[in-house]
Amino acid sequence: MLNPILLLEGVLQEYEKTLTVYHSVGDALTVKGGVVGDKIEDRLPRGFVIAKVVDLGSYGGNDGEECVVMATMRKVGKYEVGKTIGEGTFAKVKFAQNTETGESVAMKVLAKSTILKHKMVNQIKREISIMKIIRHPYIVRLHEVLASQTKIYIILEFITGGELFDKIVHQGKLSERESRRHFQQLIDAVDYCHSKGVYHRDLKPENLLLDSQGNLKVSDFGLSALSQEGVELLHTTCGTPNYVAPEVLSHQGYDGSAADVWSCGVILYVLMAGYLPFDETDLPTLYAKV
């Protein structure tokens, strides 16, 4: 069982102005500090996350008044788990740190009950299998996969620069030089995937991350497919409507590599223009334009 008092050694002084330890049970740490509405989790020692607000009544509860929170040290395998940095329909992504190496990672957490409920077992198996066989500087790397009785933990490379989508939203269209750089990296990654028989099928700026050096990293292989011997065409209609190739919408089968290349072309347009070539709120009208 973790001892939160020992875990606080060496860092308590740094936080003594905002945190006061007054009770500990097992691996849970109860602290008083900060103010309601403040980001208390940012003031907690590394590895601690807020589990719940324990008591507001004793210390008020209005903005500017102190509150009491229960913070816990969460650990999965050799990873200390921090706060949530992303959340999708079926999974949460949390910041975590390898306690052996100090390396920061992204931990994708999926509940087994959700996977079973939505019949996603084969999809998750396929995503993990694909990420195990691809190793490329412009693709988010899979470190390992862990599991408990109730959850699956996919340990991924931690990318700090955010989504390419957010960069376009805030900056607008990119310069020709910057667009060329990102597009070359994208094509390099996609060509590598195709050489491995992997088709992404959901390429879009939201699934393209940027590292601290501004290099592009392809992520989210949840809709990807593997080539199969004797099967020339794919038939599952998937992807994001604004970026899918017309043949994907035809329901007559499509070449996975050609569909990915179409999506890359749409992404290049967005990089250079700052807006989508096909953009309608009404899906039938959008499909007609595509």
- 3 state SS of 196: coil
State the pLDDT confidence band at 41, using cuts at 50, 70 and 90.
low
| H helices present in 91-209, as ranges | 112-117, 121-133, 164-171, 176-195
With 0-12 / 13-18 / 19 or more C-beta atoms within 10 angstroms meaning exposed / middle / buried, residue 62 is: exposed
- Known binding positions: 117
Architecture of domain 79-157: 2-Layer Sandwich (3.30)
Amino acid letter for position 151: K
* Residues paired with residue 87 on neighbouring β-strands, in sequence order: 92
- Known binding positions for ATP: 117
State the pLDDT confidence band at 290, using cuts at 50, 70 and 90.
low
Alpha-carbon span 154 to 135, nearest angstrom: 16
Q: How far apart are the first and last CA of the chain?
A: 58
User: Quick one: pLDDT at residue 42?
Assistant: 57
Q: Does pLDDT of 197 surpass 60?
A: yes
More confident residue, 259 or 237: 259
Alpha-carbon span 214 to 162, nearest angstrom: 10
User: Quick one: pLDDT at residue 51?
Assistant: 54
Alpha-carbon span 121 to 107, nearest angstrom: 19
Residue-wise pLDDT for 134-148, tens only, equals 999 999 999 999 988
Q: Is the separation of the CB atoms in 124 and 153 below 8 Å? A: no
The mean pLDDT of 246-269, rounded to a whole number, is 94
- 3 state SS of 101: coil
State the pLDDT confidence band at 58, using cuts at 50, 70 and 90.
very low
More confident residue, 37 or 140: 140
Please choose, from the candidates 91, 198, 107, 191, the residue with its C-alpha nearest in 3D space to the C-alpha of residue 144: 107
With 0-12 / 13-18 / 19 or more C-beta atoms within 10 angstroms meaning exposed / middle / buried, residue 203 is: buried
Task: Compute the residue count for the chain.
Answer: 290
More confident residue, 279 or 210: 210
Query: Given the structure tokens 């992997």, which residue do they identify?
Result: 198
Q: Which of 31-45, 135-149, 204-218, 252-266 has the lowest mean pLDDT?
A: 31-45
The mean pLDDT of 203-231, rounded to a whole number, is 92
State the pLDDT confidence band at 87, using cuts at 50, 70 and 90.
confident
State the pLDDT confidence band at 254, using cuts at 50, 70 and 90.
very high
Q: Is the separation of the CB atoms in 41 and 35 below 8 Å? A: no
Selection from 19-28, 59-68, 124-133 with the highest mean pLDDT: 124-133
More confident residue, 87 or 153: 153
User: Quick one: pLDDT at residue 89?
Assistant: 82
| Dihedral-angle region of residue 25 (phi above 0 means left; psi in -120 to 50 means alpha; beta otherwise) | beta
Alpha-carbon span 111 to 202, nearest angstrom: 23
Domain boundaries along the sequence of the chain: 4-73, 79-157, 164-289
Task: Give the number of C-alpha atoms closer than 13 A to the C-alpha of residue 94, restricted to the C-beta side.
Answer: 21
Torsion of CA 103, 106, 111, 117, to 10 degrees: -150
Which CATH number is correct for 164-289, 3.30.870.10, 3.40.190.10, 1.10.510.10, 3.30.450.30?
1.10.510.10
Q: Is the separation of the CB atoms in 56 and 67 below 8 Å? A: yes
Average of per-residue pLDDT values in the chain: 79
More confident residue, 75 or 246: 246
More confident residue, 46 or 87: 87
User: Quick one: pLDDT at residue 70?
Assistant: 53
Q: Which residues are catalytic?
A: 202
